[in-house]
Amino acid sequence: MIVLFTDFGLAGPYTGQMKAVLAREAPGVPVIDLFADAPQRDPRRAAYLLAAYAPWFAPGTVFLAVVDPGVGGARKPIIAAADGRQLVGPENGLFAIALRRTACCEVREIAWRPDALSASFHGRDLFAPVAARLARGEPVASAPMPAESALRPDWPDDLAEIVYVDAYGNAMTGLRAATLPRDARLRVGGRTIAPARTFSAVPPGTAFWYGNSCGLAEIAVNLGRADAALGLAIGSAVAVEK
């Protein structure tokens, strides 16, 4: 299985062209759209989202992950292996948190280059063919590189910010719920929010936080929009009150 994680947005030709490459180079391999709207041009916040969602997928999964504002510049194309999953994309920290949370990891610089490489769309021209090859179980020309450079030791283990807002207005933080006290209160958007098990456990219109289905602490309002009610967007600060 190949899983797409990008900031390409829902519209436009980019995801389609990557899928055309995958259909040609890895026919029959399922391709899953996980996020096409990861934090835009923001590998740091996207890294916490990817790290939360990647482990849900089975070992053997290949992630084609492109949040790559430096495309065409100096950043290197890499393959990172983490607990049996492989991540293909730019070396800009996007894989840092996923790698840090795995028992073993390896980072390789991709040496292979396509015959034609556009300056602006390495997702299509370089990363997609590499992901297809890995999904077929075939080797890709690459060289080991120090994992340290991809691990971003200056970034925290969990990020006390909103990293994603979904279509319901629920706001995911970069904090793993399991790292918080069960009864922790979160300070966000000028309000203090208590935990609940799920939506229907609180009255309509009530704000709460809960551990979402991939383990992130998420701010929500039962039958309402947390983003509008609390003024939340990607980057809004969150504080834990113990």
- Positions in the binding site for its own copies (CB under 8 A): 1, 3, 8-17, 19-20, 23-24, 27, 30, 32-37, 40-41, 53, 56-58, 69-74, 118-121, 124-125, 164, 166-168, 197-201, 210, 212-214, 223
- Which one, 106 or 224, has the nearer CB to its own copies? 224
* Radius of gyration for the alpha carbons in the chain, expressed in angstroms and rounded: 19
Contact (Cβ atoms closer than 8 angstroms) between residue 202 and residue 146: no
Question: What is the H or E stretch that residue 96 is in?
Answer: helix 96-100
Kindly state the smallest distance separating residue 70's Cβ from its own copies, in Å: 5
Distance CA 36, CA 58 (A): 20
Both tokens of 195, joined, read 């935990």
Kindly state the smallest distance separating residue 34's Cβ from its own copies, in Å: 4
Sole residue written with tokens 């391709």: 31
Would you tell me how many other CB atoms lie within 10 Å of the CB of residue 107? 23
Sign of CA pseudo-dihedral 33, 37, 40, 42 = negative
- The SS3 assignment for 236 reads coil
- Which one, 147 or 161, has the nearer CB to its own copies? 161
Kindly state the smallest distance separating residue 17's Cβ from its own copies, in Å: 7
Kindly state the smallest distance separating residue 56's Cβ from its own copies, in Å: 7
How do 77-82 and 62-66 pair as beta strands? unpaired
Kindly state the smallest distance separating residue 190's Cβ from its own copies, in Å: 25
- Which one, 11 or 103, has the nearer CB to its own copies? 11
Give the chain's count of helices (H) and strands (E). 7, 14
- The SS3 assignment for 229 reads helix
- Which one, 35 or 95, has the nearer CB to its own copies? 35
- Which one, 89 or 147, has the nearer CB to its own copies? 89
- Which one, 56 or 112, has the nearer CB to its own copies? 56
Both tokens of 132, joined, read 């297809």
Kindly state the smallest distance separating residue 205's Cβ from its own copies, in Å: 12
Contact (Cβ atoms closer than 8 angstroms) between residue 161 and residue 174: yes
